[in-house]
Structure 1
Amino acid sequence: MAAPSMSAPLSDSSPVTAPNRTLLGIAIVLAILMMVPLLWLVGLSIKDNGELMLGTEAVFQAPYTVVNFANILRSSAVFGWLLNSFVVAVGQTIGVLTLSSLAGYAFARLEFPFRRALFVIVLFGLAVPEQAVIIARHQMFNWMSLHNTYLGLMLPGMSSAFGVFLMTQFFRAIPKEIDEAALLDNASPFKIFWKIMLPLTLPAQATLGIFTFLQGWNDYWWPLISATKPEMYTVTIGIASTQVNFAQSEGLGFLAAQAVFASLPVLIVYLVFQRNIVTAVSGGAVK
């Protein structure tokens, strides 16, 4: 009896086809185009301000210097802005994760009056732009004397309609049998949420936390309105305040170095949580 043929390939990997090469080439070109402004900013940050005054084309010519970054380290204002941005971003992240998890669990797993109507109202928050409520918010925060405070900068970012929707969808995807098994063991609703449900939502919480932190760090609109004292500036407002008049600033290279320096925490967050960010963008946070 003849032995079975062993001519089947050991690997099912196939070579890259022509359409795939085309898409890969387009993706590479688009990535390069998106990186050009960043590379231009980095180039400006390592050039002498005197050379840049003669023309920004000097960015393509040596020599390069790190004196602009050294000047940042000599200034305490930038570190104050970074501290303010860090406090605001972390506070917003903690608030959004706490409130969105509680609201998402309630909408997904509990029964209470007007549950569907309230959830629809929350979803309306996704359609209302921030600029539409900015006057009412400003007057309310002014009445409560919350302007130029950390709490005033954090509170608006803690109400996240997207966060409630994300956590609600994730809680709904968890099988109901888990709740029933916990109820048979006489577990309270809060204990089910804290001990069983919340640990199962760590992927969604990581995704929501990353996006909330990045949004809080890069926020410009509300800090511009609420933070009127220089000591309460976030990094976005602080850097913008130095760019009002280039003639009175310390130079274009120094401004570019400030922008690069302020972007480093965001870059670190992305590198550390890159897998979670890719999962969220690809839609894998909610299954």
Structure 2
Amino acid sequence: MARPYDPDTFTAHRRLFWISAVFAVIMLAPVAWIVGLSFKDNAELMVGTQSVFSPPYTLANYVNIFKSSSVFGWLWNSIIVATGQTIGVLILSSMAGYAFARLEFPFRKTLFIIVLFGLAVPEQAIIIARHQMFNWFALHNTYLGLILPGMSSAFGVYLMTQFFRAIPKEIDEAALLDNASAWRIFWKVLLPLTLPAQATLGIFTFLMAWNDYWWPLISATKKEMFTLTIGIASSQSNFAQSEGLGFLTAQAVFASLPVVVVYIFFQRHIVTAVSGGAVK
């Protein structure tokens, strides 16, 4: 049976729609501006950027990326670093979350509190000690040196712990009746139920690793080890003058495409995790 028409509800929904639309336009305006600049001729942009939303447009900036830019090497570095950090965070956070939520061991609560302290300690507070440690082990300008710091995720451990706690313990008891070990319960029974949380954590980790600027700026001093964020930042004083603003913004748009693809592919898992529909 259809619901009766309510003018007040309809008006409230319409106002909410327009408010959301205004904020969406404000957030998307800088993105549209960058995309528009990437399709403009560099000589025209040298005069001014007022014509960004008026023709003519050109693909020359994107063609130049495929011809002579170093962006592909930086892109490959970012893919390796972001993927490595994501896999490492998912493995370590899932195992730690299962241990904190399901297993009994000495000082479990104390260790969990120590892990939570990691959420409050800023990265800048430990950067000197980390730099010295990685220098001692000669890990700077290596993929391992770029990946390892991002694998320690206090947020990931907390998220997976809370998610494992939300799973009914009757599932564990049923598996124990079938003589399943703790590892088998984790790997075969509980871990598949955490897919929405893992997808959410994986996306957030991938985005943070992809956009990370602070640690790669310190650890990667050789151009061939630059990630996209460092490479594009180094181009601002070079390509922006020699190649033009349009070429620089085309690099930025090209660099953001993998992130957009990852988010579009996994967004349904984020919705499932947020709505609490992981365990039925």
If the length of structure 2 is used for normalisation, what is the TM-score? 0.94
**Paired AA for residue 153 in structure 1:** L
Report the secondary structure of 2:63's partner residue.
helix
**Given the superposition, is the C-alpha separation of residues 32 and 181 from structure 1 closer, same or farther in structure 2, using an over 3 Å criterion?**
same
TM-aligned CA deviation for residue 277 of structure 1: 3.1
Could you tell me which runs of 5 or more consecutive residues in structure 2 were left unpaired when the two chains were aligned.
Answer: none
**Paired AA for residue 233 in structure 2:** A
Is residue 2:244 matched to residue 1:262? Answer: no
TM-aligned CA deviation for residue 147 of structure 1: 0.5
Is residue 2:107 matched to residue 1:109? Answer: no
CA distance in 1 between partners of 2:29 and 2:155 (Å): 31
**The structure with more radius of gyration:** 1
CA distance in 1 between partners of 2:271 and 2:41 (Å): 37
Cα deviation code 1:178-213 (max 9, x no counterpart): 212222222211111111111111111111111111
CA RMSD of aligned residues (A): 1.7
TM-aligned CA deviation for residue 13 of structure 1: 7.2
TM-aligned CA deviation for residue 245 of structure 1: 4.9
Alignment of 1:116-127 (within 5 A): 116-127=109-120
TM-aligned CA deviation for residue 77 of structure 1: 1.1
TM-aligned CA deviation for residue 249 of structure 1: 3.5
**Paired AA for residue 175 in structure 2:** A
From 228, 243, 246, the counterpart of 1:250: 243
Checking the alignment, whether the CA contact within 8 Å between 1:104 and 1:167 is kept in structure 2 is yes
Equivalent residue for 2:88? Answer: 95
**Paired AA for residue 261 in structure 1:** F
Report the secondary structure of 1:217's partner residue.
helix
If the length of structure 1 is used for normalisation, what is the TM-score? 0.92
TM-aligned CA deviation for residue 58 of structure 1: 2.3
TM-aligned CA deviation for residue 279 of structure 1: 4.2
TM-aligned CA deviation for residue 61 of structure 1: 2.7
CA distance in 1 between partners of 2:110 and 2:158 (Å): 14
Could you tell me which runs of 5 or more consecutive residues in structure 1 were left unpaired when the two chains were aligned.
Answer: 1-9
CA distance in 2 between partners of 1:13 and 1:244 (Å): 62
Report the secondary structure of 2:256's partner residue.
helix
Equivalent residue for 1:284? Answer: 276
The aligned length equals 277
Cα deviation code 1:48-104 (max 9, x no counterpart): 000000011121332110100000011251111110000001100100000000000
Report the secondary structure of 1:59's partner residue.
coil
Report the secondary structure of 2:70's partner residue.
helix
CA distance in 2 between partners of 1:140 and 1:285 (Å): 42
Checking the alignment, whether the CA contact within 8 Å between 2:35 and 2:253 is kept in structure 1 is yes
CA distance in 1 between partners of 2:4 and 2:84 (Å): 47
CA distance in 2 between partners of 1:104 and 1:38 (Å): 37
Equivalent residue for 1:156? Answer: 149
**Given the superposition, is the C-alpha separation of residues 246 and 90 from structure 1 closer, same or farther in structure 2, using an over 3 Å criterion?**
closer
Equivalent residue for 1:12? Answer: 3
